[in-house]
Amino acid sequence: MTRTKLKSFQQMEDRKNEAKANDSVLVEFILLGFANLPNHQGFLFVIFLVIYMSILVGNGLIMVITKMDPNLQTPMYFFLSHFSFLEICYTSVTLPRMLSNLLTQKRNISFLSCAIQLCFFLILGGTECFLLAVMAYDRYVAICMPLNYPVIMNSKTCVQLVVGSWISAIPVQIAETYQIFSLHFCGSNKLNHFFCDAPPLLKLACGDISINELYSYAGAILFAIPFLLILVSYIKIITTIQKLPSAMGRQKAFSTCSSHLMVVGLFFGSGMISYFLPKSKKSSGIDKILSLIYSTVTPVFNPLIYSLRNKDVIVALKKFILKLS
């Protein structure tokens, strides 16, 4: 009888301890990020500050010159302008917080702030997927159906495609965020990541998370649809380009697509590995590196890729600098 009472008492204590652990985790998470490099926090702050400022300036310049230069008033540059604005929003969800953590050494983030950060990060990431698909479709119509291009890609269609890209990701990603934060988090509240992202959050959840993992995979698969659309578009583009009789024509057609393909490869490549690779085949370190690529490295390289490989953008940029000077 005594043993039974002791066992019941122990079970009650365990439940109380677990409840306390859950309550503490619900208050806040600790973003470890670069905690393993305590002597390099100042250096890392400067590096990421330069990266963030480069993203703001580079993408901001593209937005300005595509708006001001008459030669860039085409659907291709209309989409590029919106893509640059999206990149500024996308990185502003994570980088300012990361910079603050590096500067103040305070790595805690409240449960609500973490949920909001994840929600906006997923929504903007999904928007980027769809907008990249729209840009691929624009190149497909321009190269494969050049005579019908002005009719198909009229201003109304362009606006509808951009609006559709912005709103398509919202319902799915809000639902996914709700699913993740309805989980029970027990034990450690230390998030081995730079910001609140789905894979590291699921690692902290206790109990059966298989349904949530399936939901995350379903969300990721949904955004694999734009990737498939991009793939189909470029298969048709390459087939059409190979049929062009002029070598100069083929080179010009490839040059208009190469920049977009590089951005697609960087963004989708790192994102898919991070979200689709089984847990057993990747470590937290790999997760963190991949997240830096698709959340920071890609946005900082996008203005360089689109400007250095695009003569129209270079000419417009030179005109803009001359006006300023």
Give 118's pLDDT tier (boundaries 50, 70, 90).
very high
d(CA 226, CA 271): 13
Q: Helix, strand or coil for residue 255? A: helix
Identify the helix (H) or strand (E) that includes residue 83.
helix 75-92
pLDDT at position 170? 87
Closest CA to 193 of 97, 278, 116: 97
Q: Higher confidence at residue 115 or residue 172?
A: 115
Indicate if the pLDDT at residue 224 is higher than 70: yes
Interval 56-69: pLDDT, tens: 998 998 898 888 88
Q: Helix, strand or coil for residue 88? A: helix
Closest CA to 169 of 222, 94, 107, 118: 222
pTM: 0.82
Interval 71-113: pLDDT, tens: 888 898 899 899 999 999 999 999 999 898 888 888 888 888 9
Paired with 28 in beta bridges are: 110
Name 111's Cβ contacts closer than 8 Å, sequence gap at least 6. Answer: 25, 26, 27, 28, 29, 181
CATH class of 23-324: mainly alpha
